[in-house]
Structure 1
Amino acid sequence: MRDPSEERLADAGALLTWLGGSGVGSARDLKRIRSAWRADVARCEAAYCEAITLREAIYEILVARIRRRAPPREALEAFNRMLARTMPAAALAWDSGDVTWNLRPEGDGLDWLKPIIISAAALMTGPRAHRVKQCEDDRGCGWLFVDESRAQNRRWCAMGDCGNRAKAHRHYQRARQNERG
């Protein structure tokens, strides 16, 4: 179970930075969206809230799938509402020698979420869906990851973070037990 108090996308600016770092949209697209959001703060807040709702819906659906349970009805409804609103206008563009999503700040503001919605739907229903796992960190990390290991036995979101911490903790516990015993 993840820690619900951790929010790494504190505001719309952080969301746009994450989108850019994740390769969703060109720098020009993100600059246009940022300008449009500055001009319409209510639209900016609504778009940010939709992105958080989308993230939580994706998370709940994938965690339910990992546990082989039906996802919460609200999560499916939220995801499907956004999917239905974005698919009719899906478009790709050529930008700086690469194919990218064509993102626009017009409309209801969900155009820039298309790549995430479509990617999440493909992950949830595709051949890699059974490889989605939740980090087993005892601190409550809760991150999801796609287990691409050959044996399908990966336990942590990242070996350099949660995995190392868990292994160091086990080593410490064994050393303490050997000292006592």
Structure 2
Amino acid sequence: MGTGDLDGLRIVGGHPALDLANTVAPRGPDGTDYLTDPAALLTWAKLVGLLSGDEAAEVAEAWAAAPVSAETARRDTLTLRALIDPVLDGRDLDALTWRWTEAIARSALHPAGEGRAVLHVGTEAAHRIPDRLADALVDLVRHADRSRLRACPRCGFLFLDRSRNASRRWCSMDDCGTAVKSSRLTERRRNAARPTSI
């Protein structure tokens, strides 16, 4: 497996499915794909909280025992990533349903006390990442406040605006927000320095 290098990748989506969409930066055909190998996928899954450290170790062990399963998991993850925009537009729900049904088949209910149960998605370590991502995308479609879903005008990253007054414009104020404000300031200074005609 590779090194799992994710230097420069920003986690700003506020939801694992949106963070998956943002693994191409900037978004679009000319962006850099950060999920270039299974090691990068595993590192990213831990980074976004999809896996605990112990779960990541189980996945790494399963992939080492069956190396083809690592590339299968990465390929399935990229397929899910390609579904995000169409699903958010209300298309390809059948494809997502099929992926999610596969994930649920590899899931289990565990007792949580007081007659309740907890659903554990991804009981098979080799498939855990794409299974949890399929479940996360279904969760996004079913439960996220769509009026708070935004795309950064600079880089295209998707994010949930969780600000109190729903006024967040950029994926990150430290990156895109600062760049946009800086370019506006430069433009204002440039315009102010131009001689005015009499």
Describe the shift of the 1:105–1:32 C-alpha distance in structure 2 as closer, same or farther (beyond 3 A).
same
Where does residue 170 of structure 2 map in the other structure?
A: 156
- Shift of residue 113 of structure 1? 3.0
1:142 aligns with 2:156: yes
Higher relative contact order (CA 8 A, sep 6+): 2
Please point out which of 65, 68, 77 is paired with 1:42: 68
Does the 8 A contact of 2:103 with 2:122 survive in 1? no
Please point out which of 77, 82, 103 is paired with 2:99: 82
Does the 8 A contact of 1:93 with 1:102 survive in 2? no
Please point out which of 77, 80, 83 is paired with 1:57: 83
Letter in 1 for 2:27: R
The 4+ residue runs of structure 1 with deviation greater than 6 A are none
2:181 aligned counterpart, secondary structure: helix
- Shift of residue 92 of structure 1? 6.9
Instruction: Map Cα deviations across residues 69-100 of structure 1 (whole Å, 9 max, x no partner).
Output: x43x3xx3432221111124434779xxxx99
1:3 aligns with 2:28: yes
Answer 1 or 2: which has greater helix percent. 1
- Shift of residue 103 of structure 1? 4.2
Please point out which of 52, 57, 76 is paired with 1:31: 57
Does the 8 A contact of 1:53 with 1:78 survive in 2? no
Does the 8 A contact of 1:33 with 1:104 survive in 2? no
1:13 aligns with 2:30: no
Identity of counterpart residues, as a percentage? 30
CA distance in 2, matches of 1:79, 1:52: 13
Instruction: Map Cα deviations across residues 119-158 of structure 1 (whole Å, 9 max, x no partner).
Output: 2212212251221111111xxx111000122332322111
Alignment root-mean-square deviation, CA: 2.6
Please point out which of 141, 148, 171 is paired with 1:131: 148
Specify every segment of 5 or more residues in structure 2 that has no aligned partner in the other structure, as ranges.
1-25, 112-117
Instruction: Map Cα deviations across residues 3-28 of structure 1 (whole Å, 9 max, x no partner).
Output: 32311122110111111122223322
| Aligned ranges 1:110-129 → 2 under 5 Å | 110-129=127-146
CA distance in 1, matches of 2:172, 2:40: 22
Letter in 1 for 2:97: N
- Shift of residue 57 of structure 1? 1.0
Specify every segment of 5 or more residues in structure 1 that has no aligned partner in the other structure, as ranges.
65-69
Does the 8 A contact of 2:121 with 2:135 survive in 1? no
Letter in 2 for 1:154: R
